[in-house]
Amino acid sequence: MGRIMKCGLFDGYARLALIDLTDIVNEEIKIHDLSPLATAALGRSMLAGAYVGNNLKSDDNTYSITINGGGPLGPIVVAGGYGKIRGYVTDNKVNLPLKQDGHLDVGGGVGKDGYISVVKDLGLKDPYVGRSELISGEIAEDFAKYLLISEGIRSAVAFGVKVNKDGCVTACGIVVEALPGITEDMLVMLEDVMSNFTALSDITEKKSIEEVYDFYFSHLDATVYETEEIVLKCNCSYERIKNLVKSIGKSECEQIIAEQGKIEAVCHFCEKKYAFNKEDVEKLWDK
């Protein structure tokens, strides 16, 4: 289970979110057997997803984020709703040499020849769709650019995921939003604080998000609003997969059954397998 801590700064002229998805990323490692590089890339992407999901207005609203920079990891997809999240990396086995500073080369794995795209279903006639070009593939600064370009939000973003031989040590994020009326002095103070988080995982390996708030933000006329839980939850089901199989078409399904004896579908998000034999397929078109 993860959590997001929401705070106000400067008596309401800035908003702060501190996110901890360490337990959820460790669950994802077990589900997808992720390489360290894939773990870091998916973890950072899910931190962005947790922030988007927590800003939805209703439990019925949903979102999806796709990060596709043309790198060897392939597209990364994160989806969910308010307090719920799931995600996957297309190639979960990729590893690259460490960067000169000893950190995982997430930017090299993701690539920067592409976009971060966000789709939100807010219960309106059409979904909201926004996207922006990637800057580095490191995800945090790419997400900050997306917020500015697509949603008009001035922000500072720091994501940190650290992995060792036993799994994910920490997967935490910080997002600060500047709100209307914020002064230049306030912005300078925020820039000064956020400059401490160039290697956020080194800090959150030792400090909880509550301790990070106390040490770095509590003196900025700050107020803690609430801390909410985030759960790893897939929405796949037999009915959903059945409809996807039916969308292939009757003749194509019958051909697969004739050649392979069954149709097997695997959910990208949770790796659950669904099998359909000849009788199952016949029932799909049974009036």
DSSP secondary structure letters along 76-116: EEEEEETTEEEEEESSTT---PPPTTSS--HHHHH-SSSEE
Q: Which residues contact 55 (CB under 8 A, 6 or more apart)?
A: none
- Between these two residues, 212 and 58, which has the higher pLDDT value? 212
The predicted structure's pLDDT at residue 287: 56
Distance in angstroms (rounded) separating the CA atoms of residues 6 and 203 = 19
- Taking the C-alpha atoms of residue 202 and residue 208, their distance in angstroms, rounded to an integer, is 12
Separation CA 4–CA 226 (nearest Å)? 8
Residue range 165-176: average pLDDT?
A: 95
pLDDT for 101 equals 84
CA 209, CA 214: separation in Å to the nearest integer?
9
Q: What are the CA-CA distances from residue 51 to residues 85, 147, 166, 193, 200 (Å)? A: 10, 11, 27, 20, 17
Q: Please state which architecture CATH assigns to domain 2-232.
A: 3-Layer(bab) Sandwich (3.55)
Q: How many CA atoms lie within 13 A of 178 on its CB side?
A: 18
Stated pTM of the model: 0.92
Fold of the CATH domain 238-284:
CBS domain Like (3.90.1280)
b/e map 168-199, b = 16+ CB within 10 Å: bbbbbbbbbbbeeebeeebbebbeebbeebee
pLDDT value for 279 = 85
**Domain segments of the chain: what residues?**
2-232, 238-284
Q: Is pLDDT of 224 > 90?
A: yes
